Amino acid sequence: MLDPDFAAMLEAEAAATPPDMPPLAALPVDVIRAGYRAQRTAQNANSSPLDVEALDLTVAGAEGPIAARLYTPTGFLPPGPCLVYFHGGGFVIGDLETHDGHCRRLAAGSDARVLAVDYRLAPEHPFPAGHDDALAATRWVFDHAAEIGVDPARIGVGGDSAGGNLAACVASDLRGDPARRLKFQLLLYPVVWPEEMTLSRRERDGPVLTREAMTWFEAALAAEGHPQARRAAPARKADLAGLPAAFVATAGFDPLEDEGRDYAAALAACGVAVQHVRYPTLVHDFYIMGDVSPAVTAAAREAAEAVRAALWPSEI
């Protein structure tokens, strides 16, 4: 059954939605981004750890500097581990603010620095702009590790939804780079675009992530038909061997559940160490709704502990 706190949230949202609400495609993208930011920041107002320092900075994107935010938990002694994090939002919405509370929870729970990356968004910057920025930013962290107090031997990538796709793609792109060896990938309800449409995609229309939203996101990204389109579909890669260890989280009330589950199984079949955790009562996007349900706090703790286990080896 759906988590009762999320059920109450969805019921309240449905009651507040005007019956003549225009479709997503009819709304200006800036309006949708602003609404998403307001909603998600309000749902994290009371559950964000206070003992995390946040520093805004710029890192290298593929075509110039982009914004980022470095989270440092209390007691962190450099050089230490770092998780390079990419926010979700269908490659179209979401930003450093929508995921601020979530990144603070990850940093506090893992005792690692978290660098959140404000990659370029579609439709203004269609595929592969965001993917190129994610890769460039991760390379920047390796190349400037000493400047930001990071141990280059303990760097991981992570993300939720579209950000999970970016993290998985960066892990694949860096697989053959001997100078930049990722230690870990945190994939939270990732979109990985398998060859065949999964049962959960066919049968679930929401809650939270609807068919209309997925169609709108994918049209804005414009990856389909692009010469590099397969680069954005980790699940379509024939060989996943040699990728860093992974933590994959899926939600029971999420159209992306099956592809996340199947990707975890494919990684394991190729010899990658994988921990797959399913949250059967939760919805897509739950990690950034910390105030909605205590279940989010518990799940966030589990994700942070996976980061800590991967990036803080027992001999340190």
How much is the pLDDT for 296?
98
pTM exceeds 0.85 for this model = yes
Average pLDDT over every residue of 270-295: 98
- pLDDT band at 314; cut points 50, 70, 90: low
- Give yes or no for a cis peptide into 123 (omega within 30° of 0): yes
Residue 60 forms part of a structural domain: yes
pLDDT digits (tens, 9 = 90+) for 218-266: 999 999 999 999 999 999 998 999 999 999 999 999 999 999 999 999 9
Contact assessment for residue 98 and residue 149, using Cβ atoms and an 8 Å cutoff: no
Residue 40 forms part of a structural domain: yes
Residue 316 forms part of a structural domain: no
pLDDT digits (tens, 9 = 90+) for 92-104: 999 999 999 999 9
Strand-pairing partners, residue 245, are 184
The total number of structural domains that make up the chain: 1
Q: Which of 161, 172, 200, 293 is catalytic?
A: 161
CA atoms within 13 A on the CB side of 314: 0
pLDDT digits (tens, 9 = 90+) for 103-124: 999 999 999 999 999 999 999 9
SS3 of residue 171 by DSSP? helix
Q: Which of 254, 258, 262, 285 is catalytic?
A: 254
Q: Which two tokens stand for residue 288?
A: 């950034």
- Domain holding 251, by residue range, is 4-17+24-311
How much is the pLDDT for 313?
75
Residue 55 forms part of a structural domain: yes
Residue 176 forms part of a structural domain: yes
- 314: burial class by Cβ within 10 Å (0-12, 13-18, 19+)? exposed
Q: Within a 10 A sphere around the Cβ of 177, how many other Cβ atoms? A: 12
Residue 71 forms part of a structural domain: yes
Q: Which of 87, 102, 276, 284 is catalytic?
A: 284
254 as an active site residue: the answer is yes
Angstrom distances, CA of residue 310 to CA of 155, 236, 315 = 9, 26, 12
Residue 83 forms part of a structural domain: yes
Q: Which two tokens stand for residue 154?
A: 């303990």
Q: Which two tokens stand for residue 280?
A: 């059967």
Question: What is the domain-level CATH number for residue 63?
Answer: 3.40.50.1820
Q: Which two tokens stand for residue 118?
A: 């404000």
